[in-house]
Amino acid sequence: MGGHETTEGTRASVESERLLPKLVAPEQLARLLARVRRLEAGELPWWGGLCLALYRWRPFRPTLRAIVERLEGGHRLSPTWRAIAERYYGVRIGAYTYGPGLHPGDLPPGTVVGRYCSIGYGLAVVRVNHPTGWASQHPFFYTSLVGLLGERLLPVPAANPLIIGHDVWLGARVMILPGCRRIGDGAVVGAGSVVTRDVEPFQIVAGNPARVIRPRFAPEIEALVRASAWWQRSLEELVPHLDLFTQPLSLERARRLSALFAPGREVRESGQFDGR
């Protein structure tokens, strides 16, 4: 009997160890967290300020972006890349958000993308349709950009901004049309989807037009994740609690997530918090 209990205890210990992911070497983690702190503070290094100023000259832009991404650990960690996006393109991009679909100039002015988002390649965001009820749909007759009209007759794209929430995953080749103004926190949009209306938080949608496939979580778990608003925390605050993020989210883990990270609660490495 004692041997059986020992075996069960060993098995439980092994399973517990499997839940804790292996971290990079301490020096690598220290470098990562230093970049995280700079990103969260919005601090541009000296080369970032220089690149931001030089970016006004278009021929330099590809080279400057490459320099910034190399020096600042890729665009998911780069405060300079975000400053460039906002100053020169009118686009706000949250911390840790990344992906080939975020190429500068591809997102219309006024677009806001939340934190921790994953954006697949080939993203197309359309904010104004052609005038299907007019005699012609050609841009000669509604915009000043093609050499005929002296004014634009349709609203500018920034008048219909797209808001993408936090921790959103957009698959490859997603197209977002003017009828969609908001994609909620935690949503998933499948590859190749055409999104014609708003996407609710934590819903998985796909297709043309995109339709709800299923929610990501059961209602009770979703409510706890919403309450946690964990995406407002820095990566440094999440690291001591990686077991909550590196495996499927059970109800018990969702309760811990909410208890630890809900707004107004100070996160401790031990998992305790101050405040109510």
Catalytic residues: 130
- The distance from CA 214 to its chain's CA centroid, rounded to whole angstroms, is 21
Is 129 in a helix, a strand, or coil?
Answer: coil
How many Å is the maximal CA-CA distance in the chain?
A: 90
- The token pair at 112 is 């806001």
Nearest-angstrom CA–CA distance, 98 and 51: 20
In sequence order, which residues have a C-beta less than 8 Å from that of residue 269 and are 6 or more positions away? 240
* Angle formed at CA 229 by CA 171 and CA 105, multiple of 5 degrees: 40
In sequence order, which residues have a C-beta less than 8 Å from that of residue 238 and are 6 or more positions away? 230, 245
Nearest-angstrom CA–CA distance, 94 and 90: 13
- The token pair at 205 is 């949608």
Nearest-angstrom CA–CA distance, 222 and 34: 32
Q: What are phi and psi of 35, to 5 degrees?
A: -70, -35
Pairing of strands 273-274, 266-267: antiparallel
In sequence order, which residues have a C-beta less than 8 Å from that of residue 270 and are 6 or more positions away? none
DSSP H stretches of helix in 123-273:
219-228, 235-238, 251-261
Eight-class DSSP state of 139: G
